[in-house]
Amino acid sequence: RRLVQSRRSLMMVCLCFMGIMRYLAKLSSLGSISEEETCEKLRGLIQRQVQICKRNLEVMDAVRRGAQLAIDECQFQFRSRRWNCSTLETVPVFGKVVTQGTREAAFVYAISAASVAFAVTRACSSGELEKCGCDRNVHGFSPEGFQWSGCSDNIAYGVAFSQSFVDVRERSKGQSSNRALMNLHNNEAGRKAILSNMRVECKCHGVSGSCELKTCWKAMPPFRKVGNIIKEKFDGATEVEQRKVGTTKVLVPRNSQFKPHTDEDLVYLDPSPDFCDHDPRTPGMLGTAGRQCNKTSKAIDGCELMCCGRGFHTEEVEVVDRCSCKFHWCCYVKCKQCRKTVEMHTCR
C-alpha cells in the first residue's frame, strides 16, 4: 500500500515540475516566447512564475532550452536504469500538492535547476540577454560601471535567475512543508554542481607575453559533466526527515549515524519504488517490459535486474550500421553502410 502511494507520488512530483519543463521544451516548435500572453498560456506555471515570465520574456527562450537540456541529460544519465526518464513523454499531469519525494525526484529537481542556470548563463555569453552580468555590478548597471570596472560574471546572473524562477514554486508553498524543503535543497545542490566545478582559466599578457600580467576567469563545465556530478550525488543521496530545531524546520539524516549531508548532496524523503511494473493509474509509470537489457552485465542494466526476474526474449536482429565514415566538423557525414547481426534482449 505504501509502495503504491509513494510510486504515484514520485510520478506526480516529476511530472509536476518536469511537466512544465517538457511543455516549455515542446514550445520550441511554436517559435519563440515573445509575447506576454504566451506566459499566461504556459500550463503549469504558478502565478508568481507567470509574473517572472512576463518581466523576463527574453530569458524564457533560454529557460526553454534549459528544460530540453535537463530532459536530454536525465535520459542520458538514466539510460540503463529501470526508470529511464521516459515517463515524461506522456501528457503532463499535475496532481495536488505532493507530500513525498524520492531519490529520482531529487535528481530531476537538481538537474532542472542546474540546467536553467546553465542555459541562462550561456545565453548571456552569446549576447541574447540585455540585462545579465552588468546589472549585478557593484557600480550599478550603467555604461560607466562597465567602463570603470567591467561586469560581473554571467554565472551569477544565471544562478540568480534559476533561484528566482525555479525556487519560487517551492517558496510559495511555504517553508514548512518538508517537500518544499527537500526540493529547495536539491535545487540548490544542482546549482552548486555548476558553481563548485567552474574551471579557472588564465591568460598571461605581460611584457612579451610574460606572466607579469595575468588575467583569470571562470568557465562553466560542460553540461555532461554537470549531469555526471549530479548523478554521482544521486547515487550517494541521503535519506532525510524533517525535524524542528528551535523554531525552524530542517532536514536531518534519518539514520543519525550517517554523516550529515552538505549543500552539494542530494536528499530524499521516501524510498524509491522498484519501477518494475506498468501502473495504469500512475501516468508515466511504464515498467520495464519491452526494455532492452544487457545479458552479460550484473549491474542494473543487466537482464536479471532490469527485467525484475521476469525473464527476457532474445532475438537476432540485423542492424544497418555506419562504417568507414568521412566527417566534416559540421553537418556532413559520408558513410558506407555495414550490416551486422546482433543479439537483442528485451524484458518480458
Q: Minimum CB separation from another protein for residue 339, in Å? A: 17
Binds another protein (CB under 8 A): choice among 130, 232, 241, 263 = 130
Strands across the sheet containing 238-245: 248-253, 238-245, 267-268
* CA pair distance 297, 304, nearest whole angstrom: 9
Binds another protein (CB under 8 A): choice among 2, 41, 203, 340 = 203
224 is a contact residue toward another protein (CB under 8 A): yes
Listed residue (112, 114, 89, 82) closest to 7, CA to CA: 82
Cα-based torsion angle of the residue sequence 15, 20, 26, 32 in order, rounded to the nearest 10 degrees: -170
Number of neighbours of residue 190 by Cβ within 10 angstroms: 32
Nearer to another protein, 20 or 226 (CB): 226
* CA pair distance 56, 241, nearest whole angstrom: 36
Residue 81 burial by Cβ neighbours in a 10 Å radius (0-12, 13-18, 19+) = middle
Q: Which residue in the block uniquely carries the three cell numbers 537476432?
A: 316
86-97 residues labelled b (16+ CB within 10 A) or e (exposed): ebbeeebeeeee
Binds another protein (CB under 8 A): choice among 37, 47, 143, 280 = 143
Listed residue (1, 27, 2) closest to 269, CA to CA: 2
Listed residue (117, 113, 46, 101) closest to 74, CA to CA: 113
Task: Tell me the residue type at 235.
Answer: D
Q: Minimum CB separation from another protein for residue 233, in Å? A: 18
Query: Within 305-324, which residues bind another protein (CB under 8 A)?
Result: 322
Q: Minimum CB separation from another protein for residue 153, in Å? A: 8
Number of neighbours of residue 141 by Cβ within 10 angstroms: 15
The grid cell for 87 is: 515517463
Site string for another protein, 166-195 (x = CB under 8 A): ------------------------------
Listed residue (144, 141, 145, 157) closest to 62, CA to CA: 157
Nearer to another protein, 140 or 271 (CB): 140
Q: Minimum CB separation from another protein for residue 140, in Å? A: 13
Binds another protein (CB under 8 A): choice among 213, 299, 319, 342 = 213
201 is a contact residue toward another protein (CB under 8 A): yes
296 is a contact residue toward another protein (CB under 8 A): no
329 is a contact residue toward another protein (CB under 8 A): yes
Binds another protein (CB under 8 A): choice among 328, 339, 341, 343 = 328
Binds another protein (CB under 8 A): choice among 245, 256, 332, 339 = 332
Nearer to another protein, 66 or 284 (CB): 66
Nearer to another protein, 32 or 175 (CB): 32
Nearer to another protein, 71 or 285 (CB): 71
* CA pair distance 98, 136, nearest whole angstrom: 35
151 is a contact residue toward another protein (CB under 8 A): yes
215 is a contact residue toward another protein (CB under 8 A): yes
Q: Minimum CB separation from another protein for residue 169, in Å? A: 27
Nearer to another protein, 91 or 211 (CB): 211
Nearer to another protein, 278 or 334 (CB): 334
The crossing angle, in degrees rounded to 10, of helices 154-173 and 47-55 is 160
31 is a contact residue toward another protein (CB under 8 A): no
Let me know: does 226 contact 194? Beta carbons within 8 Å: yes
Q: Which residues bind another protein (CB under 8 A)?
A: 65, 76, 122, 124-131, 133-134, 138, 143, 146-151, 154, 201, 203, 205, 207-209, 213, 215-217, 219, 222, 224-225, 322, 325-333
